[in-house]
Amino acid sequence: FVKSAAMAGTEPEDDELADEIDTKVTLQRELQDQRKTLPVYKFKDELLKAIAEHQIIIVVGETGSGKTTQIPQYLHEAGYTTNGQKIACTQPRRVAAMSVAARVAQEMGVKLGHEVGYSIRFEDCTSEKTVVKYMTDGMLLREFLGEPDLTSYGVVVLDEAHERSISTDILLGLVKDVARFRPDLKLLISSATLNAEKFSDFFDMAPVFKIPGRRYKVDIHYTVAPEADYVDAAVATVLQLHVTQLPGDILLFLTGQQEIETVEEILRRRTRGLGTKIAELVICPIYANLPTELQAKIFEPAPPGARKVVLATNIAETSLTIDGISYVVDPGFCKVKSYSPRTGTESLLVRPVSKPSADQRAGRSGRTGPGKCFRLFTEHSYNKDMEDQTVPEIQRSNLASVVLSLKALGINDLVSFDFMDPPASEGLLKALEDLFALGALNSRGELTKTGRRMVELPLDPMMAKAIVASERYGCSEEVLTVGSMLSAGNAVFYRPKDKALIADAARQRFNAGNVGDHIALLNVYTEWEQSGHSAQWCLDHFVQSRTMRRARDVREQLVALLERVEIERRSGAGDHDAVRKAITAGYFRNTAQRRRDGSYRTAKSWRTVSVHPSSGMARVDPPPRWVVYHELVETTKEYMRQVTELKPEWLLEIAPHYYQENNLNKPKPKKAREQGAAAAAATERSLSLNDFFNVQ
Ligand code: ADP
Ligand code: MG
């Protein structure tokens, strides 16, 4: 009142408000107009009719036709949520779930987290109001545990089904079953590629609804000779396109965050030298761990006269559609998960993409007009080296986590589970053995109390076990912290090139006394917490504050879950061995013994591995004799990442069913060693499929 009196008469506040409302109305109108231009719009009524008539429908349409953003809205508008039931729309990728939810909230003119929300691991952005819920497929799988008939949902859209992620594959089997006893549940399986027949067959000949896409011609250019370094070639190609080609944005496919950051840096440096005659190049990275506020940037048009280049992982292949792309640069690689049931190792490897992937990538340039795709590989390589299909993730992953969830759902007979493409029985058996060794299953393959607690924690079974075991060692607080740090991502420290030595020293300080990487992570978190979660502290110690904040969020969620499984929160008060033992209780399979030449050999699987150069334990002298590690990564060699020293006698104490005295002896001569390996394999195999599947 005082304020408006002072502003006598003019009431500028009201004017501003009116302006703001005006802009909002205009923006909303534009958004609604845009919605009507999407290919799916013309088929809205037909689609709704088909959904009303059939319980299960396969929807196929080009990327960008509006499947993900529009169909849930159509269903909402058509009244599928009026009875209080929700619409679920699953995405294999975290970023896609968040980004699409944000867009849909904007289109519906609501606040994100209200009517429209998203749910991803360790982040729930939904509320009681939420009726349109985007979520990762992994989250819906978790919801099944608490609600096996999915009563709170009226419609489930399994989106991006062509990706064949492991969780989507399991969901396909589960929802098929639910649909049988819930005739009111509507199921939509949506795919960007034309392998729809397979989905239709799986769902007893469910009708396929095709949304004809708009696709312009795409000129494909190959390199004449193979490129030695595709990152260099990619940078050169992007710059050349920018300097020589007509306006239109560029999309470059890379394999991961690190590569994207490298290319971003090089491009920034090189464009600075181009002078003022050349248009500005706006560089937009997008990958899973990119902070949310930066994710939206890829969708913003470049300022007039400037050109945008999007540096993306596979996420831009079909999950996210970026408008205005005229040029695609495709090195033809992606990171794929690969798993060897024989050795039990899972690794991320950079591999050539499949032909359908390469074609999807090329297609991204022809959405709004004719496009050009520059493939940094030869035509011969496309025809001869690239696979015709991508192998479903379920056939190349460690299945322990999935098997644990299925067991928790009461699905005991895994062999007769309705898999669209069943995993190899070797992989299933290995998963059962792993879970048995972790104490999650008994010898009849039934879930134990430990197993039931592990299921509640949305973590890899090994980490879940470490946390459950921490109760016994009286250090749940510490193990929770270590687990949260490991879940928050690999980028805890940063190492600017010009300050590499100082950064290394700062980092090594957390490992003082060679406590090992796990305790070092604990030290980082504890100090950060003592600093009052200070960003300055992070800067001073070369720690990424983004990772720390994420670790804190993860930890908060885990704390809540710990209460649910009734694990007492206790601190080991500096007893590092207690923490190491709890870690070992989860990771006892991941142990290695030093050999005379300084390399390590993994216990039981007998692989030669090395300590990752980024590990605090890489330069310890003398190097520890026995170590436990978090994971193996394969680059030039096989490396153990996150390494801590361990006393071999712990293994007998912690995992007596897995290790016997003779596993821990000194390295044997080669012949005996081979026999030893065979014997170890034999004991491991002493449990057979029959024990687990109740096959008579
Ligand atoms: P589909 O699922 O069929 O591939 P989408 O529904 O994801 O198609 O995309 C439809 C349109 O919505 C595209 O033009 C895309 O650019 C736009 N869009 C999607 N997400 C966003 C976002 N976060 N910001 C801006 N535009 C978006
Ligand atoms: Mg989509």
- How far apart are the C-alpha atoms of 314 and 358, rounded to whole Å? 10
Dist CA 664 CA 659 (whole Å): 8
Model confidence pLDDT, tens digit, residues 236-277: 999 999 999 999 999 999 999 889 999 999 999 999 877 778
Going by alpha carbons, the residue nearest to atom 6 of ligand 1 is: 66
Helix (H, G, I), strand (E, B) or coil at 354: coil
Query: Which of ligand 1's atoms lies nearest the C-alpha of 318?
Result: 4
Tell me what pLDDT residue 194 has.
Answer: 67
Q: Which residue has the tokens 């011609």?
A: 217
- C-alpha 106 – ligand 2 centre gap (Å): 17
Closest approach atom of ligand 1 to CA 40 = 3
Distance 337 CA to ligand 2 centre (A): 22
CA of 116 to the centre of ligand 2 (A): 16
Q: How far apart are CA 272 and CA 495, in angstroms?
A: 23
Integer Cα distance of 234 and 220 in angstroms: 15
Are the C-beta atoms of residues 609 and 639 closer than 8 Å to each other?
A: yes
If you measure from the C-alpha of residue 213 to the centroid of ligand 1, how many angstroms do you get, rounded to a whole number? Answer: 14
Nearest atom, ligand 1, residue 62 CA: 3
Closest ligand 1 atom, residue 63 Cα: 4
pLDDT-derived band at 432 (thresholds 50, 70, 90) equals very high
DSSP letters spanning 37-73: HSGGGGGHHHHHHHHHH-SEEEEEE-TTSSHHHHHHH
Q: For residue 676, is pLDDT > 50? A: no
Instruction: Give the DSSP letter string of 525-570.
Output: HHHHHHTTS-HHHHHHTTB-HHHHHHHHHHHHHHHHHHHHTT----
Q: Please report which confidence band the pLDDT of residue 1 belongs to, taking 50, 70 and 90 as the band edges.
A: very low
Task: Provide residues with CB under 6 Å of ligand 1.
Answer: 38, 61, 63-70, 99-100, 102-103, 299, 321, 323
From the CA of 36, which ligand is nearest?
A: 1
Cis (ω within 30 of 0) for the bond into 624? no
Task: Give residue 175 CA to ligand 2 midpoint distance, Å.
Answer: 20
Specify whether the CB–CB gap between 470 and 478 falls below 8 A.
Answer: yes
pLDDT given at position 193: 76
For the CA of 60, the nearest ligand: 1
With 50 as the cut, is the pLDDT of residue 5 above it? no
Please identify which residue in the block is written with the tokens 């397979």. Answer: 198
Residue nearest to atom 13 of ligand 1 (CA): 64
Which amino acid residue places its CA nearest to atom 7 of ligand 1? Answer: 68
Of the listed ligands, the closest to the CA of 107 is: 1
Ligand closest to Cα of 211 equals 1
The answer to whether 133 and 86 are in contact (CB under 8 A) is yes
Residue 12's pLDDT is 58
Q: How far is the CA of 323 from the centre of ligand 2 (A)?
A: 13
Q: Residue written as tokens 């290995």?
A: 430
Protein residue with least CA distance to atom 14, ligand 1: 64
Q: Is the pLDDT of residue 508 over 80?
A: yes
Helices first, then strands: H and E counts in the chain: 26, 21
Residue closest by Cα to atom 20 of ligand 1 = 100
Best substitution site from 60, 69, 70 to test ligand 1's pocket, by max atoms within 8 Å of Cβ?
69
| Distance in angstroms (rounded) separating the CA atoms of residues 198 and 216 | 27
465 alpha-carbon distance from chain centroid: 21
Collapsing DSSP to helix, strand or coil, 60 comes out as strand
Q: Among all ligands shown, which has an atom nearest to the Cα of 162?
A: 2
CA 215 to centroid of ligand 1, rounded, Å: 16
Q: What separation in Å is there between the alpha carbon of 321 and the centre of ligand 2? A: 8
Residue labelled with tokens 């944005």: 249
- For 39-61, what is each residue's pLDDT tens digit? 999 999 999 999 999 999 999 99
Question: What's residue 383's pLDDT?
Answer: 95
Q: Which ligand is nearest to the CA of 63?
A: 1
Kindly report the protein residue whose alpha carbon is nearest to atom 25 of ligand 1: 299
Segment 477-495 shows an average pLDDT of 91
With a cut of 50, say whether residue 678 has pLDDT above it: no
Token output for 580: 């190491």
Burial class (CB in 10 A: 0-12, 13-18, 19+), 637: exposed
Q: What is the DSSP letter of 226?
A: -
**Residue in the structure block whose two tokens are 């470049």:** 302
Q: Which atom of ligand 1 is nearest to the CA of 323?
A: 16
> What is the Å distance from ligand 2's center to 121 Cα?
20
For 456-501, the DSSP string reads HS-S-HHHHHHHHHHHHHT-HHHHHHHHHHHHT-S-SB---GGGHH
Q: Which of 75, 103, 107, 284 to mutate to test the pocket of ligand 1 (most atoms within 8 A of CB)?
A: 103
| DSSP string covering 80-146 | TTTTS-EEEEEESSHHHHHHHHHHHHHHHT--BTTTEEEEETTEEE--TT--EEEEEHHHHHHHHHH
Which tens digits make up the pLDDT trace of 56-85? 999 999 899 999 999 999 999 999 999 999
Report the interhelical angle of 476-487 vs 545-564 (nearest 10°). 130
Average pLDDT, rounded, for the chain: 89
Other Cβ atoms less than 10 A from the Cβ of 81: the count is: 20
Of 14-23, 208-217, 437-446, the least confident:
14-23
Count Cβ atoms below 10 Å from residue 533 Cβ, excluding itself: 13
Q: Cβ(396)–Cβ(337) under 8 Å?
A: yes
Ligand nearest to the CA of 39: 1
Report the nearest atom of ligand 1 relative to the CA of 211: 3
Nearest CA to ligand 1 atom 21: 103
pLDDT of residue 573: 86
d(CA 263, CA 266): 5
Residue nearest to atom 17 of ligand 1 (CA): 321
Q: How confident is the model at residue 435 (pLDDT cuts 50, 70, 90)?
A: very high
Ligand 1: which atom is nearest the Cα of residue 319? 4
| Residue 241, SS3 per DSSP | helix
Q: Which residue's alpha carbon is nearest to atom 27 within ligand 1?
A: 103
* pLDDT band of 387, cuts 50, 70, 90: very high
**Distance in angstroms (rounded) separating the CA atoms of residues 381 and 612:** 33
Count of other CB atoms within 10 angstroms of residue 500: 11
For residue 11, the model assigns a pLDDT of 56
pLDDT higher than threshold 50 for residue 4: no
Q: How far, in Å, is the centroid of ligand 1 from the Cα of 582?
A: 45
Q: Which atom of ligand 1 is nearest to the CA of 102?
A: 23
How many angstroms does the Cα of residue 158 sit away from the middle of ligand 1?
A: 17
pLDDT at residue 393 is higher than 70: yes
For residue 689, pLDDT over 70 is answered with no
Q: Over the stretch 119-155, which tens digit does the pLDDT of each residue have?
A: 999 899 999 999 999 999 999 999 999 999 999 999 9
| Ligand positioned closest to the Cα atom of 72 | 1
Terminal-to-terminal C-alpha distance of the chain: 84
Report the separation in Å between the CA atom of 474 and the middle of ligand 1, taken as the mean of its atom positions.
49
CA-367 nearest atom, ligand 1: 14
* 3-state class (DSSP) for residue 134: strand
pLDDT for 135 equals 98
Residue 679 pLDDT > 50: no
Q: CA 151, CA 514: separation in Å to the nearest integer?
A: 52
Tell me: pLDDT of 681 over 60: no
Angle, in degrees to the nearest 10, between helices 461-473 and 576-587: 140
Bridge partners, 602 (sequence order): 592
Residues constituting the chain: 696
Interior CA angle at 495 toward 492 and 501, to 5°? 125
Rounded to whole angstroms, the Cα distance separating 567 from 563 reads 6
Query: 320 C-alpha to center of ligand 1: Å?
Result: 6
What is the distance, to the nearest Å, from the Cα of residue 92 to the centroid of all Cα atoms in its chain? Answer: 8
Provide the pLDDT for residue 213: 79
Q: Is 283 helix (H, G, I), strand (E, B) or coil?
A: strand
CA-65 nearest atom, ligand 1 = 3
**619 close to 629: Cβ distance less than 8 angstroms:** no
- Cis peptide bond N-terminal to 622, omega within 30: yes
pLDDT at residue 644, rounded to an integer: 97
Mutate to test the pocket of ligand 1, among 47, 321, 361 (most ligand atoms within 8 A of CB): 321
Place of tokens 């009201």: 14
Report how far residue 620's alpha carbon sits from residue 511's, in angstroms, rounded to the nearest whole number.
10
- Average pLDDT (364-392) is 93
DSSP string across 435-450: HHHTTSB-TTS-B-HH
SS (H, E, C) 363-426: HCCCCCCCEEEEECCCHHHHHHCCCCCCCCHHHCCCCHHHHHHHHHCCCCCHHHCCCCCCCCHH
> Once rounded to an integer, what is the mean pLDDT over residues 166-175?
96
Query: In this structure, which residue's CA is closest to atom 5 in ligand 1?
Result: 66
Q: If you measure from the C-alpha of residue 64 to the centroid of ligand 1, how many angstroms do you get, rounded to a whole number?
A: 6
**C-alpha to C-alpha distance for 461 and 437, rounded to whole angstroms:** 11
Q: Which of 97-111, 526-540, 596-610 has the lowest mean pLDDT?
A: 596-610
Residue 290, pLDDT > 60, answer yes
Residue 6's pLDDT is 42
Question: How far apart are alpha carbons 490 and 348 in whole angstroms?
Answer: 13
Local confidence band at 13 (pLDDT 50, 70, 90 cut-offs): low
CA angle 483, 485, 489 (to 5 degrees): 115
Predicted pLDDT at 37 = 93
Q: Is 513 left (phi over 0), alpha (psi -120 to 50) or beta?
A: left
CA distance linking residue 56 with residue 187, whole number of Å: 5
Question: Ligand nearest 363 Cα, by number?
Answer: 1
**In this prediction, what percent of the chain has a pLDDT beyond 70?**
93
How confident is the model at residue 637, as a pLDDT? 86
Q: Is the pLDDT of residue 691 over 70?
A: no
Distance 127 CA to ligand 1 centre (A): 24
Residue with structure tokens 């960007």? 192
User: Residue 680: what pLDDT?
Assistant: 46
Distance 40 CA to ligand 2 centre (A): 12
